């Protein structure tokens, strides 16, 4: 069967690639066309576009690139028609994906959504469109199934968090010791805007912690030059595409808000979460996310403050130094790790990609055999 998969950033590329692996095991006649990154391309060798060319973060950034986004939407529609898939699988990335899903439904395509848009955080009104155009939704956070069913009478499948598989698999392979020193890991994100906003602030604390080695975990999809520009006159090391090795061996981390915060928690690394955007994006976000108490996945899933969040003006050298000293203390580290253990137990165990692939494949088999209820 033919699968068309659309992911919007590095984390979606990771989860998409693992889903493709599982679908291949079930469907020996499978073929794929994807929007994603290097990992999905490795699995399919059939990438329509790389996420670096169409993924934009923040309201202002989206507005400034509106013409390109419209062109990409138009291209995606024509590409789907040309490929004519049996199913379209959307991975998060709702601003783009829901527009395509609405069009695809009208054109007779089957829409499955893996990793729900975070409508519980903002734009809850999207539920009307989701119920209308999504044939099957797969959620990865424990509270999402209840949110959809009890609040919106929409059945979804909770499959567990795919990071549980990724980390379990990779950890078993990790034997390399990255550094013998006490190490603080900097994870400034994968997007240009994130790195430019946050990396200079992260690096500003280096001179205050002389007993520690600082390492930047560079995203696999980024050019090293974007990091090198900031570390020309320092001994900060840049290591690319070895985030899990680094997390396994580091003492603490300063992390840009996103999937990396959960990865850091699952490796039991005390962390500080940072977020900084343009003021336009920040102010609009503050209005739209007024009912959201936290920005990091760690705190959102736990529904309490496990790790410190430094947002916008609070993301400063002074505050980073203060909070880093706190999480390096033995008692605070033990408290954070205890909370991480409880968080991990709530995530549904391993097998998210496998569970999702089985439901998708069985759905298509039933559809093709005509046995599925209308």
Domain residue limits, the chain = 2-162+351-369, 167-345
Q: What angle in degrees, to the nearest 10, is found between the helix axes of 352-369 and 163-171?
A: 130
Closest Cα partner for 138 from 256, 48, 233, 15?
15
CATH class of the structural domain 167-345:
alpha beta
Kindly give the confidence (pLDDT) of every residue in the chain, 374 residues in length, as a single tens digit, with 9 standing for 90 and above. 999 999 988 889 999 999 999 999 999 999 999 999 999 999 999 999 998 888 776 666 677 778 888 999 999 999 999 999 999 999 999 989 999 999 999 999 999 999 999 898 888 999 999 999 999 999 999 899 999 999 999 999 999 999 998 887 655 555 555 555 799 999 998 888 889 999 999 999 999 999 999 999 998 878 899 999 899 778 899 999 899 999 999 999 999 988 899 999 999 999 999 998 765 665 656 655 556 788 899 999 998 999 999 999 999 999 999 999 999 999 999 999 999 999 999 998 899 999 999 999 999 999 888 754 43
Strand partners, 291: none
The CA distance from 209 to 317, in Å, is 12
2-162+351-369 CATH:
3.40.50.2000
Q: To which H or E segment does residue 146 belong?
A: helix 144-146
Residue partners of 201: CB distance under 8 A and separation at least 6:
274, 276, 315, 316, 317, 320
Q: Which two tokens stand for residue 309?
A: 């969040």
Q: Do domains 2-162+351-369 and 167-345 have the same CATH topology?
A: yes
Distance CA(256)–CA(201), nearest Å, equals: 11
């Amino acid at each position: 069967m033919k699968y068309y998969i659309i992911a919007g950033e590095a984390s979606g590329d990771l989860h998409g690639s693992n889903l493709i692996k599982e679908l291949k095991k079930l469907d020996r006649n499978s073929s794929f066309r994807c929007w994603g990154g290097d990992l999905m391309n490795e699995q399919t060798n059939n990438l329509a576009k790389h996420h670096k060319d169409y993924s934009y973060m923040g309201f202002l950034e989206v507005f400034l690139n509106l013409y390109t986004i419209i062109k990409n939407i138009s291209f995606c529609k024509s590409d789907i028609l040309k490929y004519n898939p049996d199913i379209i699988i959307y991975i998060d990335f709702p601003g783009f994906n829901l527009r395509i899903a609405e069009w695809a439904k009208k054109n007779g395509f089957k829409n499955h959504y893996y990793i729900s848009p975070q409508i519980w955080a903002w734009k809850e009104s999207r539920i009307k469109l989701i119920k209308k155009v999504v044939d099957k939704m797969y959620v990865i956070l424990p509270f999402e199934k209840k949110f959809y069913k009890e609040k919106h009478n929409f059945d979804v499948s909770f499959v567990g968090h795919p990071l549980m598989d990724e980390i379990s698999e990779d950890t078993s392979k990790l034997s390399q010791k990255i550094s013998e020193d006490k190490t603080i890991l900097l994870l400034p994100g994968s997007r240009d805007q994130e790195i430019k906003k946050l990396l200079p602030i992260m690096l500003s604390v280096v001179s205050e912690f002389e007993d520690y080695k600082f390492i930047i975990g560079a995203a696999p999809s980024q050019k090293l030059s974007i990091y090198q520009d900031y570390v020309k006159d320092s001994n900060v090391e840049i290591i690319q595409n070895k985030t899990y090795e680094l997390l396994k061996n580091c003492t603490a981390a300063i992390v840009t808000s996103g999937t990396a915060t959960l990865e850091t928690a699952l490796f039991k690394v005390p962390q500080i979460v940072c977020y900084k955007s343009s003021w336009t994006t920040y102010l609009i976000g503050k209005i739209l996310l007024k009912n959201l108490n936290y920005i990091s996945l760690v705190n959102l899933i736990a529904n309490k403050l496990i790790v410190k969040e430094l947002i916008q003006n609070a993301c400063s050298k002074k505050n980073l130094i203060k909070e880093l000293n706190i999480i390096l203390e033995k008692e605070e580290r033990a408290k954070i790790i205890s909370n991480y253990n409880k968080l991990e137990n709530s995530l549904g165990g391993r097998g998210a990609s496998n569970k999702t692939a089985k439901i998708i494949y069985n759905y298509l088999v039933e559809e093709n055999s005509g046995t599925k209820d209308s």
